[in-house]
Amino acid sequence: MERTIGRANMSDRNTVQSARLRGVGVPVWILLAAATGWAASVGPDAFGYVANDATVYSFVDIASTGVGVLAGADDDKAIVNIGFAFQFYGQSYTSLCLSTNGLISFGGCNIAFANQDLTASSPPGNFPTVAPLWSDLSFAARGSGAIHYQTLGAAPNRQFVVQWTNAFPINAPEGVTFQAIFFESSSRILFQYKDVNAGAGSPVSLGGRATVAIRDASGQANGRRIQWSYNVPVLKDGMALEFLPLGIAPVELGAAGPQHWVVLSLGRPTTIALSGSAVVTGSVAHVGIAANSDMTISGKARIDGKVWLSSAGRLTQTGGLIAGGVLKGAAVDGKLKLAVSDALKASTTAAGLSSTIPGVRAINIASSAGNLTITGGPGRNVLNLTELIITKGTLTLSAPPEGSFVINISRKFEVSGESSIQIAGGLMPLSVLYNATGTGDVSLSGGSAGGVPKTQVSGIVLAPNRAVLLAPSLLIGEVIAGGSKVNLEGSGKIVNPF
């Protein structure tokens, strides 16, 4: 019979929530150094969504393949099926409402032509809203098009594309074309602007009279909203914006977090080795090789992001693929040094936390009869364990979207066989931190079937003095390690969904 353990107390809730809500009254703009130029980031909001313009623009034109609706319409709506269950602010939706006026709503329809500041007021109906370009738009003008929509791909990586094709702003001489794409596996939302110039003198051009945002019900009051712009011409043709939920980090990871890396060595030194058909992928798939660490990649291994290589580090490639290339230089060294510092601070902070579930001191699951569910509440849930060993079975961590887990492990951390650590109840991978203090290997292994790893773990593995072995297994999250090595072998895979 599966065991269930509930949270004992809520002592850290107020501290966590006050830290998490910093900056949500006014959008927080952060400049991020990219490989070329600068990018802007807004958030996180009270749920954990962030937005940035660093993503690659790649317009998916469905004008000739998608279903067209609302041609010839003005201030009108259409309710359509997504084709899969999409998670938005912790709720699941299979349909949504499209408005001619450049916005999408869940659970009801809003066709208002007058856009609003979503940080200060609630739109009609107070529905959860996605607004790629909320303005007074129409398809009734001569030469205008329609809203097109289409579900692309195969489960669990489907995409739902909504495209406003040649929508005419009020009194504008030209139409605009833009789209919103919803990603099944990551709950990511991508806005892409093919043409946002409505003609000479039009105040709507470049978003000058529009709201670009996402928000939950009552977002102006509860902080669950990210507003990129309101009546400011900050958009441009060929621009992309992404909105994605990161969850609530239980401790501050800063420059070491999964917004920056999928694998980060701390340079103690550490050798990162990818071999076989190992894959490092996800929304952010960068590998950081700090200080005097090394990296080897061979066989058919693949890194979908960039490798950030310190001046004292070394890269040996005898095969495999680094899709994003290799970055070096003073700026790279600076970012890696900051990431190492932030990672060590995060581990120390986590290790100093008192348990909020004091009855659990060790977890050892050897069969499905010993499967365990630990249910936490909002805020930070802390487990201080001597060991976490799963040789055959499942540990489930459950908490609402506002919840997080810190699991401090002082001795053995091993997940093997056909085993998994799952998350439930709205909890997200970023919201789970495994802080493996002490020494010894962190081992995630279990073989594979048909190229699919049998062992699966969700969360961030932080091991300042330990080696991390994934041979093979699937980790949905990030690895930060300062031990002798990080080995990703066979069909092992790390997916960063952030």
Q: Is the pLDDT of residue 125 over 70?
A: yes
pLDDT for res 30: 36
Average pLDDT of the segment spanning 409-429? 90
pLDDT for res 210: 97
CA distance linking residue 15 with residue 127, whole number of Å = 29
What ranges in 109-197 are assigned the alpha helix state H? none
Confidence band for 33, pLDDT divided at 50, 70 and 90 = very low
Confidence band for 32, pLDDT divided at 50, 70 and 90 = very low
Displacement of CA 64 from its chain's centroid (Å): 31
Question: CA 99, 104, 106: angle at the middle one, nearest 5?
Answer: 120
pLDDT for res 449: 62
pLDDT for res 42: 85
Assess whether the previous peptide bond of 123 is cis (omega < 30° from 0). Answer: no
Burial of residue 51, with CB atoms counted within 10 A of its CB: 0-12 exposed, 13-18 middle, 19 or more buried? buried
CA distance linking residue 443 with residue 201, whole number of Å = 62
Confidence band for 413, pLDDT divided at 50, 70 and 90 = very high
CA distance linking residue 374 with residue 407, whole number of Å = 12
Confidence band for 77, pLDDT divided at 50, 70 and 90 = very high
Following DSSP, what letter does each residue of 48-69 receive, concatenated?
SEEEES-SPP-----TTTSEEE
Average pLDDT of the segment spanning 121-138? 97
Report yes or no: 35 and 21 within 8 Å, Cβ to Cβ: no
> How confident is the model over 257-293, as pLDDT tens digits?
988 999 999 998 999 999 999 999 987 899 999 999 9
Average pLDDT of the segment spanning 91-119? 96
Give the type of residue at 72: G
Q: Is the pLDDT of residue 16 over 70?
A: no
Following DSSP, what letter does each residue of 350-408 receive, concatenated?
HHTPPPSSTT-S-EEE-SGGG-EEEE--SEEEEEEES-EEESSSEEEEE--TTEEEEEE
Confidence band for 27, pLDDT divided at 50, 70 and 90 = very low
Average pLDDT of the segment spanning 326-336? 97
Closest C-alpha among 161, 163, 3 to residue 71: 163
pLDDT for res 416: 92
Average pLDDT of the segment spanning 334-346? 96
pLDDT for res 7: 47
Q: Is the pLDDT of residue 234 over 80?
A: yes
pLDDT for res 450: 62
Provide, rounded to the nearest whole percent, the portion of the chain with pLDDT above 70: 91
SS3 at position 423? strand
pLDDT for res 447: 67
Report yes or no: 152 and 181 within 8 Å, Cβ to Cβ: no
pLDDT for res 244: 84
Confidence band for 457, pLDDT divided at 50, 70 and 90 = very high
SS3 at position 448? strand
Question: CA 11, 13, 15: angle at the middle one, nearest 5?
Answer: 95
pLDDT for res 424: 86
Helix or strand holding residue 345 (H, E):
helix 330-351
Average pLDDT of the segment spanning 211-233? 95
Q: Which of 118-122, 195-199, 487-491 has the lowest mean pLDDT?
A: 487-491
Which of the 8 DSSP states describes residue 498? -
Task: For CA atoms 337, 342, 344, 345, give the dihedral sign.
Answer: positive
Q: Is the pLDDT of residue 307 over 50?
A: yes
Pairing mode of beta strands 211-215, 129-134: antiparallel
Average pLDDT of the segment spanning 51-61? 91
CA distance linking residue 33 with residue 331, whole number of Å = 9
pLDDT for res 259: 81
Question: CA 276, 279, 282: angle at the middle one, nearest 5?
Answer: 180
Average pLDDT of the segment spanning 192-196? 97
Provide, rounded to the nearest whole percent, the portion of the chain with pLDDT above 90: 71
Across the chain, what does the average pLDDT equal?
Answer: 88
Question: CA 490, 493, 498: angle at the middle one, nearest 5?
Answer: 170
Closest C-alpha among 204, 102, 207, 214 to residue 163: 102
